[in-house]
Amino acid sequence: MLSDAARALRETFSAPFRRVMWLSLGVTLLVLVLFGAGLQWALAALPEFGIGWLDTIVAIAARFLAIIVLIPLVHPVVSLVAGLFLESVAARVEETAYPSDPPGRDQPFWQSLIVAIRFTVVLIAVNLLVLPFYLIPVVNIFLFWAVNGYLLGREYFELVALRHLAPAAATALRRRHRSRVMAAGVLVALFATVPVLNLFAPLFGAVFMVHTYKKVAVPEGFA
């Protein structure tokens, strides 16, 4: 598995994927800037109490909470944008690394968009649910790896598997290899905790999961 992760890391930044990488990064930064601007506007619209020290405390507390909320949302935003490109990334990996295998089936754009939005909503909801625990030192980082490792492993594995299997078969395959898929997802979550590199985590995850799928796939077809 670690050799597959190292291979995926090299491929993520290789020439065939650079166009997708930079396009995904540019759109991601634009979305984050717009989100940050909206957040600043919301903070500026907070009512004032007319009491200097109280207004100062409220302003500081609001900005602190905004940062605490924004940090867990960075990865879902990256995942949403990258989700629009993951299909082409998976197809390129299959074409270059496994040319003798039957090619996968590309999903329609709107279906990929719906899947990306659904996954982003789940990712945001779960991370907001455990947000209070993210304030606990040491616990927060392990919790982030565990929660997001499960979610990322599940989503990316099924995204790749659905190129070759019917939905029921893809889910069944993931469940049979849940430990390996979870471990692969944790590696992607680890990647996502590294500043700057976290912007490329979804692309790394897609490449990595193609290799993971190929290691556990059984001769099943579309249903």
> Tell me, what's the pLDDT at 223?
40
Token code pair at residue 1: 């598995």
CA nearest to 189, candidates 145, 159, 153: 145
Please report whether residue 152 resides in a domain.
yes
> Tell me, what's the pLDDT at 16?
76
> Tell me, what's the pLDDT at 176?
92
Please report whether residue 221 resides in a domain.
no
Please report whether residue 223 resides in a domain.
no
Question: In this structure, which amino acid lies at residue 178?
Answer: R
**Ranges of residues in the chain whose predicted pLDDT is under 70:** 36, 39-40, 42-50, 52, 54-55, 58-59, 61-83, 112, 218-223
Please report whether residue 13 resides in a domain.
yes
- Domain count for the chain, please give it: 1
d(CA 77, CA 19) in angstroms, rounded, equals 19
Token code pair at residue 99: 């040319």
3 state SS for the chain: CHHHHHHHHHHHCCHHHHHHHHHHHHHHHHHHHHHHHHHHHHHHCCCCCCCHHHHHHHHHHHHHHHHHHHHHHHHHHHHHHHHCCHHHHHHHHHHHHCCCCCCCCCCCHHHHHHHHHHHHHHHHHHHHHCHHHHHCCCHHHHHHHHHHHHHHHHHHHHHHHCCCCCHHHHHHHHHHCHHHHHHHHHHHHHHHCCCCHHHHHHHHHHHHHHHHHHHHCCCCCCC
Please report whether residue 204 resides in a domain.
yes
Please report whether residue 222 resides in a domain.
no
For residue 9, give its domain range: 2-216
**What's the Rg (C-alpha) of the chain?**
19
Is the Cβ–Cβ distance between 198 and 191 less than 8 Å? yes
> Tell me, what's the pLDDT at 205?
86
d(CA 72, CA 184) in angstroms, rounded, equals 20
Please report whether residue 89 resides in a domain.
yes
Please report whether residue 84 resides in a domain.
yes
Is the Cβ–Cβ distance between 151 and 118 less than 8 Å? no
Q: How much is the pTM?
A: 0.75
> Tell me, what's the pLDDT at 26?
79
Contacts (Cβ under 8 Å, ≥6 apart) of 92 = 16, 17
d(CA 12, CA 202) in angstroms, rounded, equals 10
d(CA 1, CA 21) in angstroms, rounded, equals 23
